[in-house]
Amino acid sequence: MEKKHQKILILDFGGQYSQLIARRVRECNVYCELKPYKMPVEEIKEGGYNGIIFSGGPNSTYDENAPKCDKALFELGIPVLGICYGAQLMAQTLGGEVTSSDVREYGKTEVEFNTSSLMFHRAKDKSICWMSHTDRISRVPHGFKITGISESCPVAAMEDIKRNFFGVQFHPEVNHTEEGMLYIKNFLYNACGCTADWQMSSFVEDTIAKLKKQIGDKKVFCALSGGVDSSVAAVLVHKAVGKQLTCVFVDHGLLRKDEGDNVETVFKKQFDMNLIRVNAQERFLTALKGVSDPNEKRKIIGEEFIRVFEDEAKKLGKIDFLCQGTIYPDVVESGIGDAAAIKPHHNVGGLPENIGFEGIIEPLRYLFKDEVRKAGLELGIPEFLVWRQPFPGPGLAIRIIGDITEEKLATLREADAIMREEFAENNLDRTTHQYFTVLTNVHSVGVMGDGRTYDCTVALRAVTTDDFMTADWARIPYDVLERISNRIINEVNGVNRVVYDITSKPPATIEWE
Ligand code: XMP
């Protein structure tokens, strides 16, 4: 029988820390789901949640278009914690008062707590909390007690212990709030009655059971890229329905050294999956012949991908479900207005729109990247795949400046393999978020032995980043850089100069094209 796990619902009112709240709850070993604030009360009731957290949000509760919550939600008998805007909304909805202000309280603030309250049980009676608000609660609703105050905030925290409602004006999920995790734990364990028993193994077990039920005896199709997300998603589905899953892996000839073979070995040999490897190297190289413009390259590769998938889908006949490795940040990010499109990213590796299927299966929809990795390890996927750094859909095509030839690809593959080996050897591979080599189209003069050379320049790129939207160049020790440089010059034909890219993003991007 499917085991029922405790879970928390986080209603997102548009706050910048909503994802972080979800993370913290998971760090307390309690499963949670983040949903838009508009989620209907009926659905919440049926969801079987043990507690609800209202996130913060940018609005004033008085704004005409401010997101509201249904009062009926407070009649479900489920404990609720409101954070910042969420606390104000709770106060206003339950008959308290929120006052608008022009002055913003922002930053680290000392808050004094009533430690006989539930939420601040065992906490210090005074500690630093992170504030970021303009409006404030000026009168708590009937039944509530004030449990925290700060110099400029008469209600920094409040609770109604009978109904299990809690509100905090500050952000317990942010690291700057000294005892934030303790407050969250008090809410989860003491108010919601959750036990800290959610682990990756439970997620894996549950998901496989759910997938079995959802898929039944139908057929699933998955476009496997060899990246961690699609790999973990595919293995989960495979564990649930075995050969009812067909994975298609397109080798476009723009992969790194041995990558295609490794993917094939893992999924065919280790997992005995129904995997079709499409060797489309020639098709892609022909289409790319003589093309130098980066966006033109992306466009061609994107279109070829779609054609290859179309051909494969035709061969497979009717597909019931499409499995995708969508992870939690993809879901959340796509809900927020997009920043200016610098590069037409996710156009590559896309599937044709006219593939007919009944539904989409996204088993990782609520996981963060590090959780996806944990799930991957739990499922027995080898570390090199689980820890694979992000690799762009167009592959090495956008790491060769100018037109693409077999010869250039071979040169770049060798140089890249050396950089990766050295990063692994020097334990830099897990702390540097992305690192690779670029084959520039610069030729320069060199001397090797007694002769003059006029060969290619390889650039090394390595960055650290949280979200790939901004990035800093990685401070790689000189001796590692030296070794990589020496090895590339000695071991890779046609390269006589190696440079290190010390540009952050912005102004540069991570890739060179
Ligand atoms: P940039 O170069 O824009 O890269 O700073 C940010 C992240 O996106 C990856 N990237 C791509 N991924 N198709 C992809 O699937 C693309 O066309 C593409 N261009 C860049 C890049 O590797 C980095 O992780």
Q: Are 11 and 37 in contact (CB under 8 A)?
A: yes
Task: Give residue 509 CA to ligand 1 midpoint distance, Å.
Answer: 9
Given the CA of residue 511, which atom of ligand 1 is nearest to it? 2
Q: Are 149 and 112 in contact (CB under 8 A)?
A: yes
Given the CA of residue 512, which atom of ligand 1 is nearest to it? 2
For ligand 1, say whether the CB of 505 is within 6 Å of any of its atoms: yes
Mean pLDDT of successive 10-residue stretches along the chain, which has 513 residues: 75 89 92 92 96 94 92 97 97 95 86 97 96 94 97 94 98 94 98 92 91 96 91 97 96 95 95 96 97 96 90 87 85 43 45 73 88 94 93 96 97 98 96 97 92 96 89 97 98 97 95 97
- Residue with CA at minimum distance from ligand 1 atom 24: 390
Task: State residue 310's pLDDT score.
Answer: 85
> Helix or strand or coil: residue 307?
helix
Task: State residue 352's pLDDT score.
Answer: 67
Task: State residue 4's pLDDT score.
Answer: 65
Given the CA of residue 509, which atom of ligand 1 is nearest to it? 5
Task: Give residue 302 CA to ligand 1 midpoint distance, Å.
Answer: 14
What are the catalytic residues?
Answer: 84, 171, 173
Angle (CA) 328 329 333, round 5°: 125
For ligand 1, say whether the CB of 254 is within 6 Å of any of its atoms: no
Task: Note the pTM of the prediction, 2 decimals.
Answer: 0.76
For ligand 1, say whether the CB of 307 is within 6 Å of any of its atoms: no
Task: Give residue 458 CA to ligand 1 midpoint distance, Å.
Answer: 19
* Token representation of residue 285: 């190289």
Task: State residue 34's pLDDT score.
Answer: 87
For ligand 1, say whether the CB of 275 is within 6 Å of any of its atoms: no
If 0-12 CB within 10 Å is exposed, 13-18 middle and 19+ buried, where does residue 347 land? middle
Task: Give residue 511 CA to ligand 1 midpoint distance, Å.
Answer: 6
For ligand 1, say whether the CB of 394 is within 6 Å of any of its atoms: yes
Task: State residue 366's pLDDT score.
Answer: 80
